[in-house]
């Protein structure tokens, strides 16, 4: 959903000047379809999780079995787009089908995402994560290629080691940019891996704290746990008024929490290196803590250091989405000539 949320910001800006055709799958399609007139529901890859980690073999096998359906559905949408006239430029947020269409039609392709930082920058990787790093790099390289320009969103700034690559602050929705922030009493918890069984017992054991829990299929209250179904307005309000955030290593929520000055305890999904990298840099920058596992002592130690994390976060600055949008505007002149 992080990809879809930031794509909505980009699409809305592009739609002020251009006709935009949107390709999205699964929850991203349901999220974007109400806002834009031309949204096609394509088939995309799926990740399979279990016990807080990516099940790599099951993920690969599941996606291989789905290939005939993916080819059939996506080919239909490609033909529909061709009938209307082929776009002059394709922009992808780590979505491979649009990249293949651009390659097939030799259309200029722009990548806007946070994943390419693994492939096109010199990131610091601890020895224990080297294998996952090289695997992630290989997968990223094989997923999207023949890109004209890489616009990478990030909250940390390693050395760029590839041409045509530019680093920008994260793309944030207007609701986050305008959210009134305060330091409330609750801690916002966001967990998308529903089988992560260790989380709730740990939170229950810290009964003096109040946790607002998003992302799990649960409702109501249970002692100090307040389960929230997803509502965008309430989620942003709970985030902007939280004392701190406990989450996995997903980029979008980490970026929003940093902008709003909220300390972060990041427990990334195992075997998903992009999340591990985000969590590592949260710790290195002093914005919070990175932990491979969650237990009571980890949470208590994190909460005892909130003042120091807040001090580091107070120095963070970002002028909305201006820098990235300005660069995109330079790449997409309004004279009909396409990409520069």
Asked if residue 246 is part of any domain, the answer here is yes
**DSSP conformation class of 128:** G
pLDDT of residue 195: 47
pLDDT of residue 43: 67
Asked if residue 281 is part of any domain, the answer here is yes
pLDDT of residue 53: 57
Dig out the tokens for 279 from the structure.
Answer: 């969590």
Residues 87 and 225 in one domain: no
Sign of the alpha-carbon torsion through 251, 256, 261, 266: negative
CATH number of the domain that residue 211 is part of = 3.40.50.2000
Residue 99: phi, psi to the nearest 5? Answer: -65, -40
Asked if residue 338 is part of any domain, the answer here is no
Q: pTM of the predicted model, to two decimals?
A: 0.87
Domain count, the chain: 2
Quick one: residue 320, left, alpha or beta (phi over 0 = left, psi -120 to 50 = alpha)?
A: left
Residues 189 and 102 in one domain: no
Q: Output the CA–CA distances (angstroms, integers) from residue 338 to 4, 89, 109, 329, in the order listed.
A: 24, 6, 11, 11
- Pick out the chain residues at pLDDT < 50: 195, 336
Rounded-to-integer distance, Cα 208 and Cα 210, Å: 7
Residues 161 and 133 in one domain: yes
Residues 6 and 120 in one domain: yes
Residues 34/8, Cβ–Cβ less than 8 Å: no
Residues 9 and 158 in one domain: yes
Residues 21 and 160 in one domain: yes
Question: Residue for token digits 């790099």?
Answer: 137
Residues 213 and 118 in one domain: no
The string of DSSP letters for 132-160 reads HHHHHHHHHHHHS-S-SEEEEE-SS-PEE
Residues 184 and 307 in one domain: yes
Residues 11 and 144 in one domain: yes
**DSSP conformation class of 229:** -
Residues 14 and 133 in one domain: yes
pLDDT of residue 144: 84
Widest CA span in the chain: 61
Asked if residue 336 is part of any domain, the answer here is no
Residues 59 and 88 in one domain: yes
Residue 131: exposed, middle, or buried by beta-carbon count in 10 A (0-12, 13-18, 19+)?
exposed
Rounded-to-integer distance, Cα 225 and Cα 235, Å: 15
* Among candidate residues 276, 324, 279, the one with its CA nearest the CA of residue 93: 324
pLDDT of residue 62: 58
Residues 188 and 253 in one domain: yes
The number of residues making up the chain comes to 340
- Collapsing DSSP states into helix, strand and coil, what is residue 120? helix
Residues 50/82, Cβ–Cβ less than 8 Å: no
Asked if residue 340 is part of any domain, the answer here is no
Residue 80: how many other CB atoms lie within 10 Å:
12
Asked if residue 337 is part of any domain, the answer here is no
Rounded-to-integer distance, Cα 123 and Cα 125, Å: 6
Range of the domain at 149: 2-171+320-331
Asked if residue 20 is part of any domain, the answer here is yes
Q: What is the dihedral of CA 5, 143, 139, 340, to 10 degrees?
A: -80
Q: Output the CA–CA distances (angstroms, integers) from residue 312 to 64, 146, 171, 193, 240, in the order listed.
A: 45, 39, 21, 29, 17
pLDDT of residue 316: 96
């Amino acid at each position: 959903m992080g990809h879809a949320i930031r794509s909505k910001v980009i699409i809305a800006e592009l739609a002020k000047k251009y006709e935009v055709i949107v390709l999205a799958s699964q929850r991203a399609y349901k999220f974007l379809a109400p806002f834009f007139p031309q949204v096609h529901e394509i088939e995309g890859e799926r990740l399979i999780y279990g016990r807080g980690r990516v099940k790599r073999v099951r993920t690969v096998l599941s996606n291989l079995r789905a290939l005939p359906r993916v080819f059939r559905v996506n080919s239909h949408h490609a033909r529909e787009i061709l009938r209307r006239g082929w776009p002059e430029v394709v922009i992808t947020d780590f979505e491979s089908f649009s990249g293949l269409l651009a390659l097939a039609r030799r259309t200029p392709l722009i990548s806007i995402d946070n994943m390419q930082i693994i492939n096109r920058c010199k990131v610091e990787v601890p020895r224990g994560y080297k294998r996952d790093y090289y695997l992630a790099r290989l997968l990223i390289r094989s997923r999207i290629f023949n890109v004209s320009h890489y616009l990478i969103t990030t909250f940390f700034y390693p050395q760029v080691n590839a041409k045509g690559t530019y680093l920008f602050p994260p793309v944030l929705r207007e609701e986050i940019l305008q959210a009134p922030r305060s330091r409330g009493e609750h801690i916002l918890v966001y967990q998308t891996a529903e089988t992560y069984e260790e989380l709730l017992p740990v939170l229950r054991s810290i009964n003096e704290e109040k946790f607002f829990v998003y992302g799990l299929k649960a409702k109501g209250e249970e002692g100090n746990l307040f389960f929230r179904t997803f509502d965008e307005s309430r989620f942003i309000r709970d985030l902007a008024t939280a004392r701190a955030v406990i989450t996995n290593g997903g980029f979008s929520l980490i970026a929003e929490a940093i902008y709003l000055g909220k300390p972060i305890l990041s427990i990334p999904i195992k075997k998903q290196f992009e999340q591990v990298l985000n969590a590592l840099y949260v710790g290195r920058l002093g914005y919070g803590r990175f932990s491979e596992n969650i237990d009571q002592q980890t949470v208590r130690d994190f909460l005892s250091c909130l003042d120091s994390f807040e001090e580091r976060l107070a120095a963070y600055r970002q002028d909305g989405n201006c820098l990235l949008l300005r660069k995109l505007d330079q790449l997409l002149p309004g004279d009909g000539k396409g990409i520069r």
